[in-house]
């Protein structure tokens, strides 16, 4: 049995009705943070020690600002403050002279809207009508109703009824309030099988998946089209912080998120159908790092623009938890030399990738789709024996992958021929 914790974000559909009340809570959270920050600084100056969250709560629970929020919401603000101080103190202790303590939440005379967290006693969820009731602090109840009733909408594939909601957070993002549901579920799924698949992540094809005899390509064209379209539209805005620019950013983020969810769903479903129990993913963690000369890596004008909006780390996180829910183990492995080596005979030559999308081995004459070849090499990272006997296997599939395209009309990935057949 394993316990899984996930956070699902939702839009608030009755934003106009609840905005003022949420603003009051957000400002109250900032004020309480600042009061706790001042007290912590005093203790540091006097004793050289940082008060923990227990001391902060005991000292400030009688403060007027503490009762602006529900008691559990106030406790969470002070817990976050203590965590921030501990993080700073740990860096200082390890010799990081550049580390700075957490600052005050204030901009001139104004306070920003801080995130407000509601634990079990501070919210009541109504799944039938997709709404949640958030409790106010005692001080704010005197002026308006005792609670804030937020109506919300999650992604179509999220059903909160299946989850045990541990916490609800009201978060102010891009000029509007949103809800985050921190949920827990206990799962113990059986692996779909013992097969192993490899995933190579890229720019042209966002993902290439090798199942060791068959392969599937998932092009990232739809994602790139969105990036270019929204970049051009936003460039026409006179002010990057204008309402129109904010609307475009929000829409671009939403479409990118949907694409990544649809892709991770498609790959996991394919793995379940094929009895895959282990999914091996190439680790691209260093792709944005500097080169060996300490300079930022240059992938060319086109490549740099593509990488700017490339969310492979976000995608890997989605793939990991969705695979976990199906009992599939996800392993990250180094991508070193996977694009240079022949997956059929293991011969390595950086010149064998003769052109974009094509890999030709001069040693065994294997011709392969370059991304599929990389995916198969990644797969073989956990099956080393295949590297020695791969020459005896039929490798024609390496050059003829299936292609699944993102169908905008359906919002999911579909085999290429099905999309073509639907066209007039």
**Helix (H), strand (E) at residue 278:** strand 276-283
pLDDT score of 416 more than 70: yes
Q: Specify the pLDDT at position 292.
A: 46
Say which residue the tokens 């998932």 belong to: 218
Q: Specify the pLDDT at position 391.
A: 42
| Cβ neighbours around 368 below 10 Å, total | 27
Q: Specify the pLDDT at position 354.
A: 60
Q: What is the pLDDT of residues 49-88, one digit of tens each?
A: 888 999 999 999 999 899 999 999 999 999 999 999 888 8
Q: Specify the pLDDT at position 98.
A: 81
The more confidently predicted of residues 111 and 295 is 111
- Closest Cα to residue 208, out of 218, 221, 195? 218
SS3 333: strand
| Cβ neighbours around 79 below 10 Å, total | 17
pLDDT score of 361 more than 80: yes
pLDDT score of 411 more than 80: yes
Lowest-confidence segment of 184-188, 286-290, 399-403 by average pLDDT: 286-290
Highest mean pLDDT among 160-169, 223-232, 237-246, 347-356: 160-169
* Average pLDDT value over all residues in the chain: 84
Cα–Cα distance for residue pair 208/6, rounded to 1 Å: 27
Q: Specify the pLDDT at position 356.
A: 63
pLDDT score of 315 more than 80: yes
**Helix (H), strand (E) at residue 74:** helix 71-93
| All residues at 6 or more sequence positions from 337 whose CB lies less than 8 Å from its CB, including other chains | 348, 377
| Cβ neighbours around 344 below 10 Å, total | 24
Cα–Cα distance for residue pair 172/115, rounded to 1 Å: 7
pLDDT score of 409 more than 90: no
Q: Are 260 and 226 in contact (CB under 8 A)?
A: no
Q: What is the pLDDT of residues 116-144, one digit of tens each?
A: 999 999 999 999 899 999 999 888 776 56
Cα–Cα distance for residue pair 384/362, rounded to 1 Å: 22
Q: Are 335 and 284 in contact (CB under 8 A)?
A: yes
pLDDT score of 368 more than 50: yes
- Closest Cα to residue 390, out of 379, 404, 403? 379
Cα–Cα distance for residue pair 302/309, rounded to 1 Å: 12
Burial class (CB in 10 A: 0-12, 13-18, 19+), 38: exposed
Q: Specify the pLDDT at position 307.
A: 47
Q: What is the pLDDT of residues 266-283, one digit of tens each?
A: 999 999 999 999 999 988
Q: What is the pLDDT of residues 9-48, one digit of tens each?
A: 999 999 999 999 999 999 999 999 999 999 999 998 898 8
Q: Are 152 and 130 in contact (CB under 8 A)?
A: yes
- Closest Cα to residue 267, out of 319, 305, 227? 319
Q: Specify the pLDDT at position 140.
A: 77
Q: Specify the pLDDT at position 343.
A: 86
């Amino acid at each position: 049995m394993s316990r899984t914790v996930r956070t699902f974000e939702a839009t608030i559909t009755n934003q106009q009705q609840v905005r003022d009340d949420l603003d009051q809570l957000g400002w109250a959270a900032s004020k309480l943070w600042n009061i706790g920050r001042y007290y912590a600084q005093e203790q540091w100056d006097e004793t050289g020690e940082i008060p923990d969250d227990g001391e902060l709560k005991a000292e400030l629970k009688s403060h007027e600002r503490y009762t602006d929020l529900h008691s559990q919401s106030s406790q969470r603000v002070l817990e976050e403050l203590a965590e921030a101080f501990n993080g700073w103190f740990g860096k200082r202790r390890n010799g990081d002279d550049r580390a700075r303590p957490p600052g005050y939440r204030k901009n001139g005379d104004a306070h920003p809207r801080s995130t407000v967290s509601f634990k079990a006693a501070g919210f009541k969820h109504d799944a039938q009508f997709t709404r949640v009731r958030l409790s106010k602090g005692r001080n704010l109840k005197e002026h308006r109703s005792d609670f804030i009733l937020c109506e919300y909408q999650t992604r179509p594939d999220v059903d909160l009824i299946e989850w045990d909601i541990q916490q609800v957070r009201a978060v102010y993002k891009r000029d509007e309030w949103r809800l985050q549901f921190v949920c827990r579920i206990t799962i113990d799924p059986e692996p779909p099988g013992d097969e192993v698949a490899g995933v190579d992540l890229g720019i042209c094809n966002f993902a290439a998946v090798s199942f060791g005899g068959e392969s599937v390509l998932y092009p990232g064209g739809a994602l790139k089209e969105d990036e270019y379209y929204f970049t051009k539209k936003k460039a026409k805005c006179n002010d990057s912080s204008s309402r129109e620019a904010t609307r475009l950013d929000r829409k671009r983020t939403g479409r990118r998120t949907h694409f990544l969810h649809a892709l991770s769903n498609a790959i996991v479903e394919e793995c379940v159908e094929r009895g895959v129990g282990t999914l091996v993913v190439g680790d691209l963690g260093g792709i944005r790092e500097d080169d060996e000369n300490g300079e930022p890596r240059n992938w060319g004008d086109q490549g740099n623009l593509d990488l700017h909006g490339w969310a492979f780390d976000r995608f890997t996180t989605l793939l990991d938890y969705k695979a976990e829910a199906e009992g599939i183990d996800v392993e990250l492995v180094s991508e070193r030399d996977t694009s240079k080596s022949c997956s059929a005979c293991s011969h390595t030559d950086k010149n064998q990738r003769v052109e974009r999308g094509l890999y030709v081995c001069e040693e065994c004459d294997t011709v392969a789709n370059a991304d599929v070849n990389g995916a198969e090499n990644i797969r073989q990272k956990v099956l080393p024996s295949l590297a020695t006997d791969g020459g005896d296997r039929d490798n024609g599939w390496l050059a003829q992958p299936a292609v699944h395209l993102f169908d905008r009309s359906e919002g999911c990935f579909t085999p290429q021929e099905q999309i073509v057949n639907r066209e007039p």
